[in-house]
Amino acid sequence: MMLGKRLNAARKERGYTAQQMADLIHVTLSNYRKYESGRVYPPVDKLVQLADILNVTTDYLLCRDPADKFR
């Protein structure tokens, strides 16, 4: 799942650990890792929080950004 890959890449690029991200959105580390592994989609409210923290759009995380249409 691309959301997990994009979430992982954006997190690492900004220097956050998985534990820090989990703490920031108030979920367990286990649940956060499920988002990055692609086993579980985050609920909409958590997706918005993740995008805000990582300074990206939800469309980017969901692979719906305009640049993707040309790849």
Domains of the chain: 2-70 (1.10.260.40)
The model's pLDDT over 24-37, given as tens digits with 9 standing for 90+, comes to: 999 999 999 999 99
Q: 38: phi > 0 → left, psi -120 to 50 → alpha, else beta; which?
A: left
Confidence at residue 64, expressed as pLDDT on a 0 to 100 scale: 86
Confidence at residue 66, expressed as pLDDT on a 0 to 100 scale: 64
The model's pLDDT over 45-61, given as tens digits with 9 standing for 90+, comes to: 999 999 999 999 999 99
Distance CA 66, CA 11 (A): 21
Confidence at residue 68, expressed as pLDDT on a 0 to 100 scale: 54
